[in-house]
Amino acid sequence: MKANSSLASAVDGERFWADIEAQSQIGALSPRGLRRLALDDQDNRARLWLMDQGKALGCSAHYDAMGNVFLRREGQDPSLAPLLIGSHLDSQPSGGAYDGTLGVVAGLAVLRALAKQQIAHERPIEVVSWTNEEGARFAPGASGSSWFAGRRDAETILAARDDDGVTFQEALADCLGLLEAQGAQFRDTPVIPHAFLELHIEQGPVLENQGAPVCVVTGIQGVNWYEVEVNGQANHAGTTPEASRRDAFMGALALVGALKEAVAAKGDQVRFTIGKFTLSPSSVNTIPQQARFTIDLRHPDPAVLDALDAAFRRLAEQEWSGCTAQLEATSRVAPVAFDDHLVAILDASVKAFFPQAPRLVSGAFHDAIHLAHLCPTAMLFTPCRAGISHHPDEHIERDDAEVAVRALAHAVEKLLTTRNDSHDPDH
């Protein structure tokens, strides 16, 4: 079904997919997948590619103190707050080619359609690539968007270190130097967008199971990140009797079991993941003295997250197999509900292409979770095969993605042609 939108019709599907494939080669793994960690050489190459594409369309390129990159297509009234669309270009260490990248390239496709149709619009439109959404190199993630939205301070973000001891600030300095050398303009004045739109892969199986190429997202569940340290006593693996052991691994194992029981008591909507686990001194014939692991905890209800936070802290105060434990919350992002007015616009645009489209709440966090505290925000999802993401096998169907981009363009056209409404930060 075709929607009555000149901008949606003007989206060049061939060029959009060519841009997706061009981005997938920057940091490509063999035989498939992507490794483009925040602020590394590949991530910086991806930013420069984006800037080149924008300049070819007559857009100006900007960057801010966190390395967020903006392509701006000027409006007839530059004083109006810009409509902002985009996502991120960094990936997991062994990730897929669409997570984040799809949303940035979709924004670029909208700019191409505007240029093709020579559409004049009063309000400026900007496409953004946010810095370090994934948090795979510098934890926690969404550094650029959280700072932009005033949710985190620069000092804390800049002090983060990767596994090699490189600070965020050091890596950022190299990135900013490249952006400046490429001719991007530094933006030191905060900009509050008129609205923010983000297209993303679902990272779950619902849309594929329903045969839906796109849907509107009404909100994002909350995320708590923790680091846990369990301390015992190193000793010889062969000579230390079981009763005399203070094995940090066994202590961690017991603690994890108790944490999982606490999670299970809150129902199957809770998402509990241990993504990193390390032992020290890491010797085959030495009892571990220390175990460290991370926890990713998610739920759409802040009351459930608070209850589990309290339960986790009580458990960390106990001894486990003779070992002590410490728990530190490294990041907390509360659940958000997206702007009703913007959700309605996106939903209408989606249903112009697929009337049976559902509405979903995101189980993954995205940059939009922070922008929602700054301006009206909403998202679109398109399916990924078998719900697989954060993995080289991540895959989207071109036809689905094109429908999603056209739905995005349909909504953008409506927002660009509406000069003032109750959501306009200029008035």
Residue-wise pLDDT for 361-410, tens only, equals 998 889 999 999 999 999 999 999 999 999 999 999 999 999 999 999 99
Whether residue 17 is contained in a domain is answered as yes
Residue 289 lies in a domain: yes
22-53 in b/e form (b: 16+ CB < 10 A) is ebbebbbeeeebbbbbbbbebbbbbbbbbbeb
- Note the residue count of the chain: 427
Which backbone phi and psi does 396 adopt, to 5 degrees?
A: -125, 155
Across residues 216-223, what is the average pLDDT?
A: 94
Domain identity same for 296 and 176: no
CATH (domain of 292): 3.30.70.360
pLDDT at 413: 95
302 in any annotated domain: yes
Q: Is the residue at 421 inside a domain? A: no
- Distance CA(302)–CA(118), nearest Å, equals 46
Q: Are residues 206 and 95 in the same domain?
A: yes
- Residue 140: per-residue pLDDT: 87
Residue 424 domain-assigned?
Answer: no
My answer on whether 147 and 296 are in the same domain is no
User: Where does the pLDDT of residue 63 fall: very low under 50, low under 70, confident under 90, or very high at 90 and above?
Assistant: very high
Domain span holding position 251: 222-333
- Specify the residue for token string 């991120």: 88
Q: Are residues 401 and 366 in the same domain?
A: yes
Distance (Å, whole) CA 324 – CA 317: 8
Question: Which residues fall within 8 angstroms of residue 142, CB to CB, at 6 or more apart?
Answer: 130, 132, 133, 135, 333, 365, 366, 367, 369, 370
pLDDT of residue 333: 82
In contact, 89 and 133? CB cutoff 8 Å: no
365: its two tokens: 């966090």
Q: What pLDDT, on a 0 to 100 scale, did the predictor assign at position 418? A: 65
| Rounded distance between C-alpha atoms, residue 93 and residue 25, angstroms | 15
Domain tally for the chain? 2
Report residue 251 as tokens.
Answer: 């202590």
The β-bridge relationship of strands 377-382 and 195-201 is parallel
Give the residue from 304, 333, 362 where a domain finishes.
333
| 50 plus 199 within the same structural domain | yes
Mean pLDDT of 290-304: 95
CB 126 within 8 A of CB 84: yes
Are residue 328 and residue 369 in the same domain, yes or no? no
Are 13 and 93 found together in one domain?
Answer: yes
* Shared-domain flag, residues 217 and 227: no
Q: How far apart are CA 185 and CA 74, in angstroms?
A: 14
Residue 5: its pLDDT value, please?
67
Q: Which of 325, 303, 330 is nearest to 315 (CA)?
A: 325
Which one-letter amino acid corresponds to residue 401? A
Contacts of 119 (CB under 8 A, 6+ apart): 6, 7, 113, 413, 416
Q: What is the 3-state secondary structure (H, E, C) of 144-160?
A: HHHHHCCCCCHHHHHHC
Cα–Cα distance, 372 to 100 (Å, whole number): 17
pTM of the predicted model as reported, rounded to 2 decimal places: 0.84
Last residue of a domain, one of 311, 333, 355: 333
Beta carbons of 104 and 88 less than 8 angstroms apart: yes
Q: What's the CATH number where 176 sits? A: 3.40.630.10
| Predicted pLDDT at 148 | 98
Helices (H), 211-290: 248-264
Question: Angle 41-56/101-117 helices, nearest 10 degrees?
Answer: 10
Say which DSSP state 16 is in: H
Is the pLDDT reported for residue 201 higher than 90? yes
Mean pLDDT of the chain: 95
The pLDDT value recorded for residue 3 is: 47
140 and 267, same domain (yes or no): no
**Judgement on whether residues 156 and 285 belong to the same structural domain of the protein:** no
pLDDT reading at 205 higher than 60:
yes
Q: Is residue 310 part of a domain?
A: yes
For residues 145 and 268, membership in a common domain is answered with: no
Point out the domain boundary residue: 302, 318, 333.
333
Task: Reply yes or no on whether the pLDDT at 228 is more than 50.
Answer: yes
Q: Residue 301 domain-assigned? A: yes
Residue 173 shares a structural domain with residue 232: no
In a domain, 349, yes or no: yes
Q: Confidence class of residue 419 from pLDDT cuts 50, 70 and 90?
A: low
Q: What does the pLDDT average to over 130-134?
A: 98
11: helix, strand or coil: coil
> How many alpha carbons fall within 13 Å on the CB side of residue 348?
13
